[in-house]
Each structure stands twice: as structure tokens, then as C-alpha cells.
A and B are shown apart, each in its own frame.
Chain A
């Protein structure tokens, strides 16, 4: 299952109407380096989006001393690719975000199995808490080899 993290999405702060003064910030997990030698930083929606993606693509027992952290998608690797699997994925994503990412409020989750391509397309629409910004995150779950 590929885990591909985006490079810096840019600072979306300027287009957001928000009552909060404190912005979300995070390190860019690609660890891409600026010309100055510093690592890129993600803020606000981009930070939350990275965190959500990181959460969903983490499997149980990966995080030290927090065995039930993550979406645990790899657990479905050899399951049948049917409607039940789609629903299972959606529930896992909702549960993981509800539990571990309080900055995101889920609006929609779609998991669409594509048996002919041996993959499942996942689209997640969520609102960043305390802002009106709605972020859409899509990824494709497929085996690596």
C-alpha cells in the first residue's frame, strides 16, 4: 500500500476566515529541505490534511506504545474486494479520525473498490475545526507489489 506524502501545499492561512489566533503548524514529513537548509513547515489546513493522511495510512502496532493508533488499512489486504470492504474502510477512517484527530470534522467518506485495478479509491471530505475551510483528500489504496 503506497504511502506518498505531498510536498508543501503552501500556506492557506490567508484565504481562511477564522476566529482563532493560533494556527496549526507541523513539520513537513517529506523532510524536503529549503534552500536555506531548513525543513519545510505546514500550517493550518495543510498541517491537518497531512495528519489525517498520516493517520489513515498508519497500521495498528506501528506507533510505539500506542498499538491501536491508525486506520489499519493493511489489515484488509487479503480481504474480498466487495461492498462490505468499502463500508469497513469508511468506518475505520471515521473511527480513527474521531479518536485521534480532533482538529478535523468529517463531512463525507467514500471508499470505492476497483477490483480490476486491484485498488480501492478513498475520498475524504472534512472541515478543519474552528474554520470554514473544507478539505478534500483522496488517495488510492493498492498493493505495492
Chain B
């Protein structure tokens, strides 16, 4: 939420009081200040006038800055002023395989075109949505009569977009410097917009214009258009004008704007597509065969005010070029924001293994984005980088590394101070912990802070008198059964130094794993820890008996945060899982601040909540 200028300094009573004090110093108006007096009425008018002027000025000033503006029209206008074009609504995009079988036909054409705006329907929650292609695709006879439509790059995945096709035509009048064309539709998807300028209303000769956001160079002869949100929420189309930002349509020309009017996010997850009509081939209607390659994703509403407020300055700073890591983040987000949950970029010099001349980006995709779409998006990003990045700089992608946080929470409770049962309080504590992790971590550079969590736990009930928590960092490995496996895990924070104790307990182990099977026996990986001895060596230890099955299976480092596991050969896993979880106690349990591509998450299954009753009442 934006911070606004406080208006308490404009309080009516304060203003009036100041005016009263001013007049009270005049002997002429001694004793006037009773509510009913005439002068009091005049002061009311003066104070009210000052108050309203102050508030109006306050509002106007707030609306003048991107950080404090409240009205969407103000935020959009201010963002536009620094070259940022807020996202319009976005159509959900699905991909389908489209084919035609004419094996029984003798006079087959060598190729068949699937025209642009071929429609398909699909339902989400019993509501039918229309999807369509936005360009032409061609299929070639495979000599046996099977036609498979392909994209220009040879892929069988035909992209289709949700929305209703609309066309708006404008006739260009006499030239004026303020020629703007309003498209009266707030649901336009700008990415599907095609602007054509015809020589006249009846002419079929046209020039296709390009959105200025996609232009890499602009000259006096460029054919570009500017599409931006108008103050009333509709969209306005304009052109360069004066030959400075490219050509403008001339008087007598006609402009057609084709676009999809979309339902946005409502059509996401549509996955069964059916063609609306048949495809005529040599005058005979043929039925298309449609298979789903990927369900619809990426549909979204207009960019929110808060998103514009956050992204516009970064976009301005990046200036549509990719130089700093923040530029990479800003421009990738601008182009693929509907697919991305979070993103972070860093220079190769900051990588754990430095790689100069490379920028690393780690992208946390939305949950519904398929592997294929992720791969296609990364390929598109590489193309984008080739256009906008500094020469000789490459982009590489680093997958996000999930680090789960395990907590053992202990809180003291006096049951006499609450009508609730201890179990109810524990449930409430559990809810508070879940909410904390849901809202405070889960993205790049989002830190876990134990004190914040404990503060929330203390506030659950007056009966909760104190609380503490032990914290562990955990990563997941997926070993191959009956084979030797090797893993190197790097934790996002330094690992604690093991302390030797005369009688070590379960809590004294710094590194430990979940249970797996070795030759039918349940075992865990633990760091070496027995009477008065504690090392960073890792061992496979049989659960229950404590028998050491494998003496040295690796080690961990308290300086590099690495856990090396070598020659790990489990013969089975328990509980139907395919993985083993390795946890380590951080040296500083107060805070875990992930850097680079680490994302903290919460493992509720391996976390505990323990209530300790007490008689203390304060």
C-alpha cells in the first residue's frame, strides 16, 4: 500500500484554534470565542476554507507522484510519462495439435492452410470460452493423406488464444498534432492487436504497423503505433507524428485495429478443445482432429495499480536495454509476467562458481505452467536477450532451489488464563505458523526471521507466556535405489558447528535425514556424534539400535554450507516416497536470508509444536 501524506496537520479544529489564538491576542475581540458568537461563525468559514484547500492540495500532490497516487488514471499517466506501458488484459493461451486425415481422398492438395482466427471452444466451470488462432498455419501432405499443421518453426503445437475477435476501423481526417483514436473496449489484449493502415476506406493496400514496445530501432520511416490506457480505462491508439517517431497515417487513410477481447484469467486451465467449424478443402468441408498439447494458461486481468507502481521505476531504470541484472529481471517480467511467479537475476561474477560474461536468471514459474511452456519461454527470453543485451553477454537459467524450513516450536501456557483447551491453543499456534510462512517466505530474497514468528505465537493468547523455536534447513534428494548416489547440497546459511557432549541427544545432531532402508533395516544419515565426540563426518546409522552401518558417507562444511554425500546406496524408501530429506541446523537460527536462486518454503510435516504447561501467571 502506498504511503500518503498525513492529513492530520490539516485538521479543522487545529486550524480554527490557530485562528482563534491569533485573534485572541487582539484586545478588540476579547471574549468572543463562544460557539454561538458571530466571529466564531466567521472563523468557521475561514477554517473550513483553509481545511478544504489544504485537503485538495494534499490530494492533488498525492496524485502527482507515482509512489502516492491512488487513482488508476493518475498511476497509469505517471507510469506512461516514464515510458512504462501497463499490461492490458491477457488472453489465456493453450496449445493444440491440429491435423486432417484425407487418406481416402484422391485429389489431395499438397498443402492446406489453417486460416487465422480459426475458432475452438472449451469449457471451464461449465462456462464455454472461445479460443482462436491469430495467424495462418500450414500442413503438408505426408504422402499418405495425413496433414499436420505446423508453426513457422516446425512445431506441431499450434497456439490458440481465448477471446472474441473484434475489429475497429477509423477514418483519418485532416492532420492534427493530437490525433488519437479511442478503442472503446477495456478488455483488449494488446498482445493480439494488429494495426493496419489502408490507403483509403475502399483500398486493399495496407501497411502493418508495429507496437512501439516491440521496436528496437525507430527512424522517421518506421511504421509504429502507440497503444496505451486512456484515463477512462479504455485504450487510445496514436502514431509517431511529424516523422520523428515514424510515419503517421495521412488524411483519407483508414486504420483497422484487430484484437481479441478477452475474459482474462477466467479461461485459464481450459484443456479440452473442439473446433467450432469444419475446414473447407477443395470445396468440401473436412473435420479437424484436435488434441491438446497444453492447457490454457497465462490469462490475466489488467495490471494492478500496485504492480504498475512497483514495476514502472525498474522499467524506467532499465531503459529497454539489458545491462544490469535488474534490467534482465525488469524486461523479462515485462514480457512474460503472466507466466512468472517470481524472478531474480545476478551477474556471473556473483555466481558461486564465477562465470564472467554471463547473467544468471532464476525463474519461479506459476504452478500451472507446463515444462514445455517453460522451455518455450526460456527460448523466447534468449531471443529477447540477443536483441537487447550488451554484445557478448549471455543469459543462463538457474532453476530455483527449494530449501524447506523445519521448526520445533515450544511454548509455555498457563491453562488457567484461557477458556480454551491446550489443543485448541496448539491448533491456533499451528495456524499462525502456517500463515507466517505463507505470507513471509516463498519467493526469492524473502527471509525467515524467528523473532517475527515467535512474536506472532506469543500473541495467539494471553495464556501463552513465552515461546522458543529450533530451526533447521532442509533439502530433498532423490536417490536411485540399489545404486551408489552422490549429492552435493549447498544450504543458504552457514551450518552450525557440532558440539561434543557427554550424553548427546537427538537434538544435538547437526545434520540428519529422514528414514530409508539399507538391507531391510531402517536407517538415517547423521553426523558423527557420541560421548564427548562430535564431528562433521556423516554416517549411516540404524534407527533404534544406533548401529553404524556405513562409517563415512560424506561430510558437511561449517564454512561453505555444503553437505557432501558420496556412495549413498539405499536399498529402499519408506512411506511411498521417492526422496530423502536432509536437514541441517543453521549456525544462526535467528534468521535465514536466502540469496541468488534459493527459495525458502515450510515443511509442516517435519515441524513440531510442543506446549509446556506452567502455573506462572505473568
Q: Which residues of A come within 8 Å of B, CB atoms?
A: 22-29, 41-42, 47, 50-52, 54-55, 58, 63-66, 69, 100-103
Given contacts A25-B30, A64-B44, contact A100 B35 (CB under 8 A): yes
Q: Is the CB of A27 within 8 A of B48?
A: no
The 7 A-B residue pairs with the shortest CB-CB distance in the complex, in nearest-first order: A55-B36, A51-B36, A29-B38, A100-B35, A64-B48, A51-B37, A101-B36
B residues contacting A by CB (< 8 A) are 12-13, 28-32, 34-39, 41-42, 44, 47-48, 51
Bound complex: CA of A64 vs CA of B595, how far in Å? Answer: 56
B38 closest partner in A (C-beta) = A29
Contact status A41-B31, CB under 8 Å: no
A100 to B30, CA, bound (A): 18
User: What is the CB-to-nearest-CB distance from B502 to chain A, in angstroms, rounded to a whole number?
Assistant: 74
What would 13 more interface pairs be, CB under 8 Å, given A27-B39, A63-B44, A101-B34? A23-B31, A25-B28, A26-B32, A28-B38, A42-B38, A47-B32, A50-B38, A51-B36, A52-B36, A54-B36, A54-B38, A65-B12, A101-B35
Q: A64-B12, A64-B47 are in contact. Are A51 and B38 (CB under 8 A)?
A: yes
Chain A residues within 8 Å of B34, by CB: 51, 100-103
- Which of the listed residues B30, B34, B36, B42 has the most CB atoms from chain A within 10 Å of its own CB? B36
A45 CB to closest chain B CB (Å) equals: 13
Alpha-carbon separation in the docked complex, A55 to B37 (Å): 8
Minimum C-beta distance from B8 to chain A (A) = 14
CB distance from A102 to the nearest CB of B (A): 7
| A103 to B41 Cα, complex, angstroms | 17
- Can you offer 5 A-B residue contacts whose CB atoms are under 8 A? A23-B31, A24-B31, A27-B29, A54-B41, A55-B35
Closest-by-CB residue of A relative to B27 is A25
Of the residues A26, A58, A66, A102, contact of B39 by C-beta under 8 Å: A26
Please determine whether A22 and B38 come into contact, CB atoms closer than 8 angstroms. Answer: no
Q: Which residues of A contact B29 (CB under 8 A)?
A: 25-27
**A26/B38 in contact, CB under 8 A:** yes
Given A64-B12, A64-B44, A65-B13, do A27 and B31 touch, yes or no (CB 8 Å)? no
Across-interface contacts of B30 in A (CB, < 8 A): 22-23, 25
Q: Report B26 CB to chain A, min CB distance, Å.
A: 10
- Report the minimal beta-carbon distance from B173 to chain A, rounded to whole angstroms: 51
Can you name the residue of chain B whose Cβ is closest to the Cβ of A29? B38
A24 CA / B13 CA spacing, docked (Å): 23
Q: Are A27 and B42 in contact (CB under 8 A)?
A: yes
Q: Closest CB of chain B to A39's CB: distance in Å?
A: 10
Q: Shortest distance in angstroms between A57's beta carbon and chain B's nearest beta carbon?
A: 10
Pairwise interchain contact A100-B36, C-beta atoms closer than 8 A: yes
Contacts of A58 in B (CB 8 A): 36
